[in-house]
Amino acid sequence: MHGEYKVPDGKLVVVDLDVREGRLADVRVSGDFFLEPDDALDVLGDALAGVARDAPVASLVQVLDDALTLAQQQGRLAGPVAMVGFDTRAVAVAVRRALGLSTAWSDHEFTLLDPGVVPPAMHTALDQVLTEELAAGRRGPTLRFWEWQEPAVVIGSFQSLANEVDAEAAARYGITVVRRISGGGAMFMEAGNCITFSLVVPPSLVDGMSFEDSYTFLNQWVLGALADVGVRATTTGLNDIASPAGKLAGSAQKRLASGGGGAVLHHVTMSYDIDADKMLEVLRIGREKMSDKGTRSAAKRVDPVRSQTQLPREQVIAAFVAHFRARYRTVDGELRPAELERARELVATKFTDPGWTARVP
C-alpha cells in the first residue's frame, strides 16, 4: 500500500507498507524532506511494524515519538534528531492515506450545488441536511454558495441571542435572526453584502488534524481564489482569513460523528460591502469590537473584497468557482427532492422556531 502527504508549506512524505493479520509490516518512509541523522529514517519505519492497522493518527505519532526518544537514549542514533519540512504527524497521516483511512482532495469528486436565491433559514437547513446526507453515505462532498434577498443575522450555534442582537434595531430594519448549527460569530447578511459558501466533506479529508489545522487546510483553496482576483491573503488565528489591509473572512465548522462515517461542515463568510452603520446598530458585540475604532474604521473592515478587487460580487464568486474547478474534480449537481423536502421541514420546525433561535437566550 502506498500513501503520500504533502505538508502545508513543507515537504512530501511517502509511506509504503504491507498489512499482515491486521497489523502494519515492512513500513518504508521516504520523501524530499530533511532528516538528521540518517539512521533515524530506519527508526521511523521499524517503529510502525506491528502497529494495529486502524490505529489513529495520535497513536501513530506517539509510537514514532517514543521510538525516536528511545533510540536517542540507547545511543543508537549518531546525534539529536532534526526533522525539517515534516514531523511524525506527517508520517502518521501518510500511513493512514496508504491504508485508505485518510484521504486527499484528489480522492474525491465534489458536487457544486446552486439552489438559487433562498431565504437564510433555508441555507442553514440545507447545511444540516447535506451534512447529514454525507454522513449517512447518501451523498458525496459538496460546495454551495449562498444567494439570498431578505436581510438576516445568522448567529453561531452557541451565541447568546440577547447579547449578540439588538432586537429593536433588527425589527426596525426588517432583519430576521437565524441560528445555524455551527459555532463561530454572527453573520450580518443583506443581499449582496457578503460572500458565503458551505463546504461539506468526509472526516477522512481532515483525518488526524487539529481543529486549527483543519481550518487552515480547508481554506487553502480560498487563498488561491483570492489571489486570482488580486488579493494576497493568509489564514490567521483559529478560523480567520486576512489580507495586509485587515480581516477578510471568518470560518465555522460543525462535525457530525453519528451515522455512517461522519461528516464535516465548513463554511466561510467573506465581507464584500457591508453597511457598517446598520451592522453596528443591529449587532451588540459589533459595537463593542468597534468601540475604540469608530464607524469610519469599521467601514474599512467590512468592505475589503469590494475595495481590494474592484470587481462585482458575481464576478468574484465566478472566479472562486473557476478556481475550485481547476483545482479539484468538480461536477454540477442538483438538490434531490427528498433533500429539499427535509430542508423545508427543518425550516418550519427548527430554523424559524423561536425555541431554536433563542436556545441560548
Ramachandran category for residue 32: left, alpha or beta (phi over 0 → left; psi -120 to 50 → alpha): alpha
Give the residue carrying C-alpha cell 549518531: 78
Question: Which residue, among 181, 253, 184, has the nearest Cα to 218 in the 3D structure?
Answer: 253
Average pLDDT of span 96-108: 94
Give the contacts of 41 (CB within 8 A, at least 6 positions apart). Answer: 29, 30, 35
* Residues in Cβ contact with 100 at an 8 Å cutoff, skipping those fewer than 6 apart: 1
Q: Does the pLDDT of residue 290 top 70, yes or no?
A: no
In a shared domain, residues 52 and 132: no
The reply to whether 116 and 93 lie within a common domain is no
Question: Using 50, 70 and 90 to split pLDDT, how confident is the model at 295?
Answer: very low
Q: Which residues contact 209 (CB under 8 A, 6 or more apart)?
A: 217
Q: Same structural domain for residues 93 and 109?
A: no
Locus of grid cell 465534489? 110
Residue with cell 451523498: 139
Can you give the CATH number for the domain in which 19 is found? 3.30.390.50
Within this chain, do residues 84 and 111 fall inside the same structural domain, yes or no?
Answer: no
Average pLDDT score over residue span 117-142: 97
Domain count, the chain: 2
Q: Check residue 300 and give its pLDDT.
A: 42
pLDDT digits (tens, 9 = 90+) for 159-201: 999 999 999 999 999 999 999 999 999 999 999 999 999 999 9
Q: Looking at the structure, do residues 89 and 113 belong to the same domain, yes or no?
A: no
Location of C-alpha cell 521516504: 30
Q: Which of 70, 98, 126 represents a domain boundary (last residue)?
A: 98
Q: State the Cα angle at 208 between 204 and 210, rounded to 5°.
A: 115
Q: Are residues 320 and 201 in the same domain?
A: yes
Same-domain pairing of 236 and 352: yes
CATH number of the CATH domain containing 118: 3.30.930.10
User: What's the mean pLDDT when you consider all of the chain?
Assistant: 93
The pTM score is: 0.89
In a shared domain, residues 125 and 42: no
The answer to whether residues 69 and 154 belong to one domain is no
Pair 109, 63 in one domain: no
Q: How far from each other are the two terminal CA atoms of the chain, in whole angstroms?
A: 52
Measured at the alpha carbon of residue 199, what is the angle toward residues 261 and 153, in degrees to the nearest 5? 120
Top-confidence residue, 332 or 290: 332
Residues 70 and 216 in one domain: no
Among 78, 98, 118, the domain-final residue is: 98
The reply to whether 339 and 297 lie within a common domain is yes
Domain, as residue range, for 30: 2-98
Domain boundary among 98, 118, 152: 98
